[in-house]
Chains A and B, each alone.
Chain A
Amino acid sequence: MLRVDVRAAGYRAGEAVLKRVGFTCSSGELVLVGGFSGSGKTTLLLTISGVLSSLLGGWVDGSVLINNVDTLKTDSAVSRLIGLVLQDPEKQLLMPTPLDEVLFTLENLGFSEEEALNRATELLKRFGLFDKRFNHVETLSGGDKRRLSLASAISHKPYLVMLDEPTASMDPWGIREVRKFVADLIREGNIVLIVEHKIKYFLDLADKLILMSSGEKIAEYSRDELTSRDLREKLRDANVDVEPIHEVLEKSSNEKKRFGKALLTVEGLECWHDPEKPLLKGVSFEVREGEVLTIVGPNGSGKTTLLKTIAGFHKGYSGEIRFHDKRKVFYVSQTPDYMFLENTVERELMLTSSRTGISINALIEKVPFYTEKKNSPPYRLSLGQRRWLTLVIAWAYTPDIILMDEPTVGLDLGLLNTLFNHVRELSEEGISFLISTHDPRVLLGLADRSLVIEGGKIKEVEPYKAALMLESVAGVY
């Protein structure tokens, strides 16, 4: 049994980030915690695990009981009771090889060398990593890293397993794996707690949904209530990402639009990291003025490589990349922080202005949070704000085509809609977008056309159908 009764909690004395959050759940149940960015979901997770008060110097008024053990009053039992899967495996994985990674937890918790090795071997086999157990973590694919983070979180058989935004940077193939992982844990009698924007991916497995806003629990719904169509509509209206694409009507944005002249033609492109194993073969397509074109495919299928090749940063290719005018593309990375060069938003815009000749006022006009955040480091902005700032910087360089790599990772529905509005605004000005994504929402909300990568080849698929395909892979369609 998990019983959470937090009256208030925060990182600094007197500043409550969480207020009045309470719920209970029993063995074999899944609790989903939803809400916008900044609603206190991750803080709740840190509170329950005891990390907020014991490691981060924060405070908690209340109690968290896991099988009658108060995680806020004891350090020693918490690690044995809890397993945590972080949003980004890069941040969770601590050791150089998969075997070391799994053994690390077991050694910490005092397992004998023999038992630890047996358990690690069994887990690595279960997660398909046994043959790679001595490989360096950095040589593993994104999917392998994700599986390793799951394996290492449950190596000690914890009673409560918590997952922080498990679908944030994951393709539908990975989501399907996590859904199976969660279903197995529930069947084995564990309690699973998932903090997630895209709750639709776990709704059919959930026993409870807790909705949070501004650090407070604003609603709690049981399994029976979650099946009600009325409730789903209410949640959707409140910008909660609750419904699979197939339950949302096909949008008018997918209607055929007229676009301007062709800006870029790609013909017979082949890309590789190792010339003997080409990642992409025979890729041909065209980008027209004002068009939003998406490239869809699993992690590691070559989406980023394709964008970087077009941007001129990846040299391992053959075939033709033809710009009909002067080559003017701008590549925006998946991680916005790479783009920043200055330590305040104001200086960042001033530098952009001096580099591009666009007036500082024109730039400020594009940044709605400028007055409030002009003296903040760009790294301290919210993820949505950082993404928008990179897009403004890209716009200032007056490219014909903006290449965006997974721009929706970590965005809640509210921030996603804001980003979509900005992209539409720029595309109406005539800027084209080539967006790599595995997010069905981008296909439905933005894409004029979509290209799907399959086995190294590319084919055009109608965006709505591509979105359905992704939802089907994830297991919600």
Chain B
Amino acid sequence: MKLKYRESTLFLYALGISLVAFIANSINSIMLPSLLNGILGFVLGGKKLPQKLLAILLLLNAWGAFLNGLYFHNFGEVIISTQAIVIRRGAIESFLLVSLRFFLVVGATLLMLGLVNVRDLIKSLERDLRIPPGIAFSIAYAFRLFPLLSKDLSEIYVARKERGVTSVVLKPSDLRSILLPLLNLSYERAVWGGISAELRGLRLRKMSDRKSLGVGDLIILSTLILQWATVFYPLL
């Protein structure tokens, strides 16, 4: 028997889990939800995003988290010491916390991507959560852009190699020079995507009647509440 659930429930789940990532500030409390969502997300939704983009996102995050730890939290007992670098407990903890948060957000998003169809998601957001069509469409369209971003990124790396510029992000200026073309192209696509949607009657969409909650929805929401409890209960 196929478990039935509303796409909007998965959206709420992903939103709720992302909230955890922003609020929780201890490694112990988010370890379990991070691993759970990270593994489930990569297994169920990993194929919906280009593997290359995922790998680049992971690398960018790891590098950013490492630099952040090193520059802003490198205090406490010395863990690794070489001639070039001294890494203290604070840097390691900060790296782990940021990485777990990232895993949490990406995992929950991938989980949603893996289990919903974009067109059904738009319908469900409008129907069940009464989100205006324009906003529901924008959320769903973002997922359409992921594969294009991946294609752009690989072409940008080709151009960078041709120009003898590093492909490894070491400085903020490296990141900026990658993001500049990426965002410009995405912005142009988004503008024309908006025009295309508008001319295809997005504004005229009628909301259908709400669907009642099913067993699948209750399971998803219970899982969310359970994870909230494990993270927030110790804070109370």
Which A positions have Cβ atoms within 8 angstroms of B? Answer: 46, 49, 51, 54-56, 75-76, 78-80, 82-84, 86, 88, 90-96, 100, 103-105, 107-110, 136-138, 152, 156, 308, 311, 313, 330-331, 333, 335, 337-343, 352, 355, 377, 379, 393, 397
Contacts and interface: CB of A to CB of B under 8 A. Distances in A.
A92 B191 CA distance: 10
B206 A110 contact: yes
12 contacts: A56-B195, A79-B204, A94-B196, A96-B119, A108-B200, A138-B148, A152-B200, A311-B158, A338-B156, A338-B181, A355-B164, A379-B180
B144 A91 contact: no
B199 A138 contact: no
Given A80-B201, A313-B161, A335-B185, A92 B118 contact: no
B15 interface: no
Contacts of B155: 333, 335, 338
Interface residues of B, number: 45
Contact of B181 (A56, A105, A337, A352): A337
B229 interface: no
B201 A339 contact: no
Contact of A96 (B143, B177, B195): B143
Given A152-B200, A313-B158, A331-B162, A55 B194 contact: yes
Contact of B192 (A49, A80, A92): A92
Given A335-B185, A355-B163, A393-B163, A341 B180 contact: yes
A435 B111 CA distance: 44
B199 A84 contact: yes
A104 B159 CA distance: 36
B188 interface: yes
Interface in B76-108: none
A337 B188 CA distance: 11
Contacts of B162: 311, 330-331, 339, 397
B226 interface: no
Nearest to B141: A94
Given A56-B195, A95-B144, 9 more contacts: A51-B198, A75-B203, A79-B204, A80-B201, A92-B192, A94-B141, A104-B200, A313-B158, A338-B155
A464 to B, nearest CB: 32
A79 B200 contact: yes
A102 to B, nearest CB: 10
A104 B119 contact: yes
Contact of B201 (A93, A105, A331, A342): A105
**Ranked 5 nearest A-B pairs via Cβ:** A108-B201, A79-B201, A91-B192, A105-B200, A341-B177
B199 A338 contact: no
B197 A110 contact: no
B130 interface: no
Contacts of B147: 136, 138
Contacts of A355: 163-165
Contact of A341 (B143, B161, B163): B163
A335 B153 CA distance: 12
Q: By CB atoms of chain A within 10 A, which of B144, B165, B195, B205 has the most?
A: B195
A230 B98 CA distance: 71
